[in-house]
Amino acid sequence: MSNPYGHFEDPNREYVITRPDTPLPWLNFLGQDEYFALNTNTGGGYSFYKDARLRRLTRYRYNEMPYDNNGRYLFIKDGDTVWNPGWKPVKTELDSYECRHGLGYSRITSSKNGLEASVLIFVPPEENLEIWQTTLTNNSDAPKTFKLFSFVEFCLYDAQNDSTNFQRTYSIGEVEIEKNAIFHKTEYRERRDHYTMFASTRDIDGYDTSRDDFVGVHNGIHEPKAVLAGQPNNTQAFGWNPIGSHYHEITLQPGESTKHSYILAYVTVSGEKYIAPHVINKEPANAILDKYSDESAVDEAFAKLNGLWDDQLSTFQVETPCPIMNRMGNAWNQAQCMATFNLSRSASLFESGIGRGMGYRDSNQDLLGFVHMVPDKARQRILDISATQMSSGLCFHQYQPLTKKGNDEIGGGFMDDHLWLILSTTAYIRETGDVGILDEKVGYADVEEKTATLLDHLELSIRYTLENRGPHNLPLIGHADWNDCLNLNCFSTEPNESFQTASHNTAEEVAESLMIAGLFLKACLDLQGLYKFIGADAKAEETAAAHAEMLEAVETQGWDGDWYLRAFDTYKEPIGSHKNEEGKIYIESQGWLVMGGAGADNGRAEKTLDAVHEHLYTEDGCVLQQPPYQTYHLHLGEVSSYPPGYKENAGIFCHNNPWIHLALMQLGNGDRAYEYYLSVCPAAKEDKIETYRGEPYMYSQMIAGKDAATPGEAKNAGLTGTAAWTFLTISQGFAGIKPDYEGLQIDPCVPTAWPELKVTRKFRGKTFNITVQNPEGKSKGIKSLTVNGQAVEGDTIPLSSAAEENEVVAVIG
């Protein structure tokens, strides 16, 4: 059974949705600089500048009925028929409908009664605006005169205040209308230096800015009064709810087509705020309008966007025997890495933009899947993140993207946070060779003078974990580790309390984490490599010793017989042990310990991954633990708060699945890694889309596990660490292309049935066209490597001898 809702169109890097009534709204992320737009296949979503909480430009109501019920809408009134190109909100049955989600754009094309409307929505690179280029074509035999209304509902910038503080917000809304542009200037009179412009490039025949007049007090957005009446009211909003709506009367001859654009822009004023009392300075806004006064400028901007994506993706392109892996690895997975890098966990259809900002842990991981695309942005991000570490070694768990200031709003005291910085920094330096970043003075969040360098941060991070160990010589877990929900010190009994911000009720915080131990091991390996590269041999040895010491603790204290433990609780008892009745085996420690080098020479690595296969693997992915907790366990916290099979309570938490993929491939098990990869891959879910529900082109945070009431159902597509890690599964695992300090390592691990794969990789300004051959049907191990016809020793292409363009052949055997 194929997917009745749509299909991939790989040459265009588009997902083509052919029915608007998808199992859930299917989202696209637009924008990659400072202006972002969420856009669904029916035109739903909202826009913001930098920060979805503090600079939200348009309103969206989460979890509405229908789910996705506000957005960028065009209403067409053609005779008595009112319809939207995106179907919603009016939901008039269309004669044809198609939504093409591409990289950084969506194009919705529909027709009704002989009129075709095609709307291309995109954010031009490096601009703080979005464009809806609208093409209308009369495909009927007779002339057509119809009415066209645009619609956005303005958000008063601070989304939290906008949705709670009506006793203020209903009295502050202000707009100006000038020619074809509507200016939303609420709070510009006081402390804002910015406003929103919503303009049409075609001369308008009317407008509305008062929601009560355009939509009506008692009307839904599916039945806006002005549209039903067929005429705008030319209103100016005073307070209540300002909207923007342009009105056009359009006549088209048979076969005639017309094109114009709407521009929604975040405009900052740096000079005089007003040119006359209550009249705002529109100079920067007018510059935008001038630029886009001709549709060819819109076409150019769109071409520039596509060129940008060509360029960004060209760093890594792969051709394997698996079309699913190719389409994900070459386009959609990388696009999702871009989205997670930019938005962390802040704004999607599941992240409300006022819940979570940029995560410390998240952002370091997201960078791993992004650093090859735009290394300069990754560099700045590393510096931003590290500046939210405190001098103790602990980190602010999140920061607000607009202010870059860390805060405790979603909790603190997570004892894994600091270690991720080592992974992101070493990945960046391996990609770029830029060791200069280590000397950047970023300081600590709690120390005014910025004397500490980035390298100081890395060293402090290692030291913090070494100095904060528990009774088994393993790292203390603090509030939690990567698994936010394993709260071994909280003992929370108060339902008003967030598990994330709950205070600790343990006398002595002795609980320890094997997952942090594994992460520490991996961080030591990475740091050791860096030290060697910069010639700090003593430091490298010190780090190797720290690795050995932790490994010793892991192997003597952390082995349960068939797998590694997950943690020790406050009573010093094991978690994730055959001794437990529930939660006997967890996934995280298995992946991380193997990646960190545990079990390498005692058979435990294979054994623990076999245990994962036996106890955790399902056809929808590996569940987080087994068996699920049936009741709440005070000493475990949030992990036991979820119904069995969901989220951390034995759901398939996709983010940790690639850790197993990478561990399997480290051991050379390409066949199993491939099976596992497909199990969580959305593009492989098209034949059970009614169960899966989520977007086929974006990884989900979670798929309901086998113990759930709804197994196989995906949730929270888009903003998940799954993107970065699964991109590593593809690029560094299967394809085996690993940037290293002095060259490009070629270390593929493929399914035995794959005869060949090809990769193009740009690295430090050079291009490598790599063919991996697998004549013997093995999975791993490079038998020979030739570069431009020359044999190379080992599996790494030294940069020193590489040309601008390199033909590489690597043979597995």
d(CA 322, CA 307): 26
Q: Do the Cβ atoms of 114 and 144 come closer than 8 Å?
A: yes
Q: From the CB of 515, what's the least distance to a copy of itself, in Å?
A: 20
Instruction: Specify the length of the chain in residues.
Output: 813
Which residue, 29 or 674, has its beta carbon nearer to a copy of itself? 29
User: Which of 663, 639, 721, 623 lies closest to 361, judged by CA?
Assistant: 721
Which residue, 19 or 532, has its beta carbon nearer to a copy of itself? 19
623-635 CB burial, b ≥16 within 10 A, e <16: bbbbbbbeeeeeb
d(CA 221, CA 641): 38
Q: From the CB of 390, what's the least distance to a copy of itself, in Å?
A: 21
Q: From the CB of 149, what's the least distance to a copy of itself, in Å?
A: 15
User: Which of 311, 300, 250 lies closest to 103, judged by CA?
Assistant: 311
Helix or strand run (H / E) with residue 615? helix 604-615
Helix or strand run (H / E) with residue 548? helix 537-557
Q: What are phi and psi of 103, to 5 degrees?
A: -80, 105
Find all residues with CB under 8 Å of 685, minimum gap 6, and list them: 692, 694, 696, 714
Which residue, 92 or 139, has its beta carbon nearer to a copy of itself? 92
In 12-89, where do the E strands start and end? 14-17, 27-30, 35-40, 47-49, 56-58, 73-78, 81-83
d(CA 720, CA 366): 8
User: Which of 224, 242, 373, 270 lies closest to 312, judged by CA?
Assistant: 373
Q: From the CB of 341, what's the least distance to a copy of itself, in Å?
A: 18
User: Which of 171, 176, 149 lies closest to 161, judged by CA?
Assistant: 171
Which residue, 104 or 651, has its beta carbon nearer to a copy of itself? 651
Residue 406 in tokens:
């860390």
Q: From the CB of 632, what's the least distance to a copy of itself, in Å?
A: 4
Q: From the CB of 215, what's the least distance to a copy of itself, in Å?
A: 5
Q: From the CB of 673, what's the least distance to a copy of itself, in Å?
A: 27
Which residue, 221 or 343, has its beta carbon nearer to a copy of itself? 221
Which residue, 18 or 236, has its beta carbon nearer to a copy of itself? 236
In 502-616, where do the E strands start and end? 512-513, 567-568, 574-575, 585-586
User: Which of 682, 658, 663 lies closest to 611, judged by CA?
Assistant: 663
Which residue, 87 or 586, has its beta carbon nearer to a copy of itself? 87
Which residue, 716 or 732, has its beta carbon nearer to a copy of itself? 716
Q: From the CB of 653, what's the least distance to a copy of itself, in Å?
A: 11
d(CA 497, CA 500): 8
The DSSP 8-state label assigned to residue 539 in this structure reads H
Helix or strand run (H / E) with residue 783? strand 782-787
User: Which of 566, 565, 520 lies closest to 547, judged by CA?
Assistant: 520
Q: From the CB of 238, what's the least distance to a copy of itself, in Å?
A: 4
Residue 509 in tokens:
């915080």
Which residue, 563 or 653, has its beta carbon nearer to a copy of itself? 653
Q: Is 569 annotated in the active site?
A: no
Q: From the CB of 496, what's the least distance to a copy of itself, in Å?
A: 5
Active site residue: 208, 213, 417, 484, which one?
484
Q: From the CB of 705, what's the least distance to a copy of itself, in Å?
A: 11
Q: Do the Cβ atoms of 477 and 415 come closer than 8 Å?
A: yes
Which residue, 172 or 544, has its beta carbon nearer to a copy of itself? 172
262-279 CB burial, b ≥16 within 10 A, e <16: bbbbbbebeeeeeeeeee
Cα dihedral 465, 468, 473, 479 sign: negative
d(CA 772, CA 319): 10
User: Which of 76, 104, 72, 114 lies closest to 92, judged by CA?
Assistant: 76
Which residue, 66 or 436, has its beta carbon nearer to a copy of itself? 66
d(CA 340, CA 350): 13
Find all residues with CB under 8 Å of 472, minimum gap 6, and list them: 512, 553, 557, 558, 568, 572
Catalytic residue positions?
Answer: 484
